[in-house]
Amino acid sequence: MRIAHISDLHVSSTYHVPEWGENVVNWINANDIDLVLVSGDLTMDGHAHEFDMARELIDRIGPPKMIVPGNHDAKNMGYQVFEEMFTTRKPFFESEEVSILGLDSSEPDIDDGHIGRHDHSLIKEKLSCVGPSILFLHHHIVPIPGTGRERNILTDAGDVLKVCIEAEVDLVLSGHRHLPWSWRINDTYFITAGTACTRRLKGRTGPSFNLITLEASGFSVMRVDSRDLSSQHVISGDTIDHSANLNPHK
């Protein structure tokens, strides 16, 4: 199974680069992707016209999509517009190959993230499964190097981290910090995507998104540069029993 993970589109902002957005759409449509996960910040300020533009971009992505909002999407009552367009802020997908749960970690007009105890039990219910399991949300749970002073992390990050470890979730995917990274804690990988198509970049890193490949023997994660689609870099890979520990900058 091939899953594209894109994040932080920030459509309509001065930072958004339409050409890079087109590259993302075209690459996904041309590469036999089974599912697309969008982990928030579709917009810059949560305005309805921004959601309209983001929806137009996302609708041109062919494969099925699961989408959660980010902190920018929850501004200006954008959380209501998000639900009108995408129905749910807690999408769930289950097949013989994988179980995937998306959670809304945003709070209206606040940059900090929060999950809450009611969704801790949802993680256990949906992802304590025999096969591969994926949780995706906007905010990061584990601090990311190179992003300056730590801020806007989940306010209940420790509790969510504990739940993910106890439920033996295989992959936890997030965005928010605009820098791709990978941590392994116990048997869980915490993988952050960069910004897919904006200039809000860290240092010399480029805009990017991730390709996750699930196979019977395990998984791999590859970073794809949105400017140069031929530039691809494996940032994480492992068997299901997690015998390796790779980070994206080796």
CATH number of the domain that residue 42 is part of: 3.60.21.10
- Domain count of the fold of the chain: 1
Contact assessment for residue 104 and residue 69, using Cβ atoms and an 8 Å cutoff: yes
> CA 145, 171, 174 angle in degrees (round to 5)?
50
Place of tokens 């949802």: 122
**Residue 245, domain member (yes or no):** no
Q: How confident is the model at residue 243 (pLDDT cuts 50, 70, 90)?
A: very low
**Residue 113, domain member (yes or no):** yes
**Residue 135, domain member (yes or no):** yes
**Residue 244, domain member (yes or no):** no
* Weakest mean pLDDT among 82-86, 131-135, 246-250: 246-250
Q: What is the pTM of this model?
A: 0.90
**Residue 174, domain member (yes or no):** yes
pLDDT digits (tens, 9 = 90+) for 152-202: 788 999 999 999 999 999 999 999 999 999 999 998 999 999 999 999 998
Mean pLDDT of 194-217: 92
All residues at 6 or more sequence positions from 128 whose CB lies less than 8 Å from its CB, including other chains: 167, 168
List alpha helices for the chain, DSSP H: 18-30, 48-59, 78-86, 117-127, 157-166
- Is the pLDDT score of 231 beyond 70? no
Mean pLDDT of 225-243: 62
pLDDT digits (tens, 9 = 90+) for 51-65: 999 999 999 999 999
- In which domain, by residue range, is 151 found? 2-239
Strand-by-strand arrangement of the 99-102 sheet: 92-94, 99-102, 133-136, 171-174, 188-192, 181-185
**Residue 162, domain member (yes or no):** yes
* 28 closest CA partner among 71, 67, 59, 72: 59
Q: How far apart are CA 233 and CA 235, in angstroms?
A: 6
> In this predicted structure, what is the pLDDT of residue 139?
96
pLDDT digits (tens, 9 = 90+) for 69-105: 999 999 999 999 999 999 999 999 999 889 999 999 9
DSSP-derived secondary structure for 129-152: -SS-EEEE-SS-SS--TTS-S--S
**Residue 77, domain member (yes or no):** yes
- Is the pLDDT score of 239 beyond 60? no
Indicate if the alpha-carbon torsion angle 78, 75, 198, 247 is positive or negative. negative
SS3 content of the chain, % helix, strand, coil (to 5): 25, 30, 50
> In this predicted structure, what is the pLDDT of residue 216?
80
**Residue 222, domain member (yes or no):** yes
